[in-house]
Structure 1
Amino acid sequence: MIDIDEHGRPEPPLAADEAGTLLGFLDWQRATLAWKCGGLDAAGLNATVAASSMTLGGMLKHLAYVEDAWFSRWHGGDRQPPWDAVDWAADPDWDWQSATRDTPSSSSRCGRARWPGPVPWSRRRWPTAAWTASRGGHGRTAGRRAGAGSCAT
């Protein structure tokens, strides 16, 4: 049985194998971001702090893209809409930058609406994801691109 906290988040397992721990914490992180962004209007989702161009709406869209990319496209699947129609070579930060044009209820913006597809795929593709992570694949890939809003290593 999964315990749900007062904010509607599934508690990660206290004792689980590698797959159960990773997937439990992914569920908890998704629910945390959805809770923090829930009820925000377009102005709230598009607000920036100081000199940063990062927005909560951009973060929702980026995280939905990253999960879809890691657990589907990079593990044998095809890009799913809306990611398949993007010219990533022309705008490698499209997920962040295009979020300001989305509405709060837009399925491409709202992580909660985008996650139902990637989540089951994540769970089915766990052995391939574990192999990639065990070889440092996630960290190397994340540090490869140096665009606006990314960390170059």
Structure 2
Amino acid sequence: MIESTTELVDPPNAGNEVETLIGFLDFQRDVLRRKTEGVSADDLARALPPSALTLGGLLKHLALVEHMWFTEFFLGQEPSEPWASVDWDADHDWEFSSAAGESPAYLRSLFDAQVADSDRIMVEALARGGLDRLAIRARRGEEQVNLRWILVHLIEEYARHLGHADLLREAIDGAVGD
């Protein structure tokens, strides 16, 4: 089992739609925190060949995903640092590749700061239109998505990557479980 200081709170069994969506998203975020706690910089940068995926890369990628969906799409704002100055054409997986040179403290603080920013945006949006509130920016030329879609998409994104995190963490030190 993974030893962690991050407490996992199960999503509500009988919550309303907002409580359930936020409960599942928060649970997924906390599982990622647990999977990356107590892991050295070298281990956060360790890949399981043939994949180049790392736990540190997952932390940074999911921080980017949060930023993209809440700040860029939902609010319609331009990217902020550290994302704004990246040459994405030169390295479309920059968040994954650059994570290897960064400290665990930096990667965790980047992730936690972005989650806090996303939560602030989400709370404001829920107060001003709820889950039906549309994002400012459309997705790949399609119709705009609403906040409900963004929350479900983030839950799906986390769930997919937590499977990767399970394998990576077990390979690092044998730790299993949430």
Report the alpha carbon displacement of residue 99 of structure 1 after superposing the two structures with TM. 0.5
Aligned positions, number: 134
Q: Give the structure 2 partner of residue 74 of structure 1.
A: 73
- Cα contact 1:61–1:95 (8 A) shared by 2: yes
Q: Where do 1:1-153 residues align within 5 Å? A: 7-75=6-74, 76-107=76-107, 110-125=110-125, 126=131, 127-128=133-134, 131=146
Q: Counting helix residues as a fraction of each chain, which structure ranks higher?
A: 2
| TM-score, normalising length: structure 1 | 0.73
* Aligned-residue identity in percent: 35
Q: How many Å separate the matches in 1 of 2:123 and 2:106?
A: 25
RMSD: 2.9
Residue aligned with 2:105, SS: coil
Q: Which runs of 5+ in 1 are unaligned?
A: 1-5, 143-153
- Cα contact 2:8–2:30 (8 A) shared by 1: yes
Q: How many Å separate the matches in 1 of 2:112 and 2:104?
A: 11
Q: Give the structure 2 partner of residue 3 of structure 1.
A: none
Report the alpha carbon displacement of residue 22 of structure 1 after superposing the two structures with TM. 1.6
Q: Which runs of 5+ in 2 are unaligned?
A: 126-130, 136-144, 158-178
- Cα contact 1:69–1:79 (8 A) shared by 2: yes
Q: How many Å separate the matches in 2 of 1:64 and 1:43?
A: 20
Q: Give the structure 2 partner of residue 145 of structure 1.
A: none
- Cα contact 1:82–1:108 (8 A) shared by 2: no
Moved more, 29-38 or 114-123: 114-123
Q: How many Å separate the matches in 1 of 2:134 and 2:16?
A: 16
The 1:105–1:20 alpha-carbon spacing in structure 2 relative to 1, beyond 3 Å, is: same
Report the alpha carbon displacement of residue 16 of structure 1 after superposing the two structures with TM. 2.3
